[in-house]
Amino acid sequence: MAESQKPTKTGIKVIVVGTGFAGLTAAIECHRKGHDVLVLEKFPELKLLGDIISFGPNSSRLFCRWPGVAEKLEPLSMRADSITLKSWKGETLLTQYWEGEDKEFGIRFDGHRGEFHEVVYNHAKEIGVKIRLGAHVEDYFEDDKQAGVVLDSGERITADVVIAAEGVRSKGRKIVLGFEDAPKPSGYAVYRSWFSADEMAKDPDTKFFTEGGDQHVAWLGPDVHFIAACMKKGKDFSWVCTHKDEADIEESWQLEAPLEDARKVLEGWDPIVQKILDKTPSPLIDWKLVYRDPLPTWISKGRRIALIGDAAHPFLPTSIQGASQAMEDGVTIAVCLREAGSPDKVQEAVAAFEAIRYERVKSAQKTGEQMRDIWHKANFEAAKKNPESMKLRREAWLLGFDAEKYAEDNYARTVEVLRRTGLDDTSEARKLHVPDSTDGYTEFSNRNGSNADKISAEAHAVAGTVIS
């Protein structure tokens, strides 16, 4: 649809809770597809928070469909032509080049979360999406004719459908599950830092990061990995370090940690890593990776409230797919509502959304656990003999996917099944959308026969996330 063409109004009223990438994508796409959308965000103002975030080609194609957005993201993006994988001692295992990926899958965008978010948020406002800041949702409700939220002020706001996109602590999870569930520690946390690369450029041992274009290097060790990147033509530097952490998850999951804590984790590692730490400002951000037990459903009994993004399915960062799958959710539910075409078909659209997305997301989540174990549990002597075993997996079923087109092409047949089985059970309709790889990356897929359809607690330790 050309942006200059105003979409046909559907008459469907949508409330989106949360202005993360899931919520903003849902809001932008609902607006583009003719729905009347209102976004509620609890924070009174939005700030440039965070550090590096990655959007694969499967989600970046949406940025390219929003006029002007890709052009604004490009100068903010890391454009390294490869990633070099090293052992924790500094031995180079493999340099994995991205040549040809843009042609095969499409462009991707990696950069500062806050800077990317500002571009997308401003685009939503520019096209006319209504956003209320300082609107703290305390509860969700629904009946046969409508759904809505209750703000902390007591105000009740109603619509035909509510999309809960406020992360793993979403209040919407209670109405979907029927009870309150608490997040659990995944056993891992991530130290994170983002700072000017000026000092890196001055040191003969680290200036390679700032020369010859953007650079991306990962050091892998026993149950730890450290990834460093320089971007914007040598201007900004970022690193993350995933490590074991058994701390209990309290109300706060984003903590500050002294640089010394990272030094202890990385003691004895490659001298280049030590020099990076020397140039890192303290304190660090210490993100606790949490997971939730797997959800049997992401939609309420009344089929008017849907969880999307981290509210439905948190990802481990090693999947490099959390933000992308959140965006896929957002565009899919917008398409389903448009295909439904009117408020009286909203419940059918919500059920179809879950059926279309559920199996794909389940398999995509699994990739995070698989990649983490490939890196964290590696036999480095074996890895030196077979360095290809350590590379990041880049598979077409995941990265070459177009969620918008898929939903458009498959809505009708999904609804046909739902009308036969009833909206209370989406299990048969879900089977229409089992991806080419049913259990994570293709090399791991279908090894367990019928067990591939099960969602074990262990598999859903995959549902860890850096909460935003």
* Residues composing the chain: 468
- State which amino acid sits at residue 248: D
Bridge partner list, 419: none
Contact status, residue 418 vs residue 352, Cβ threshold 8 Å: yes
Q: Does 67 sit behind a cis peptide bond, omega within 30 degrees of 0 on the bond before it?
A: no
Based on the residue annotation, tell me whether 32 is a catalytic residue of this protein. no
Give the burial string for 349-371 (b: 16+ CB within 10 Å, else e): bbbbbbbbbbbbbbbbbbbbbbb
Contact status, residue 190 vs residue 466, Cβ threshold 8 Å: yes
- State which amino acid sits at residue 414: T
Which residue among the candidates 61, 108, 192, 304 is catalytic per the annotation? 192
Place of tokens 């903003």: 24
Rounded CA separation 185/158 (Å)? 35
Rounded CA separation 231/238 (Å)? 8
Report H helices in 279-321: none
- Please report which helix (H) or strand (E) contains residue 115, including its range: helix 113-126
Contact status, residue 213 vs residue 81, Cβ threshold 8 Å: yes
So which residues are the catalytic ones?
192
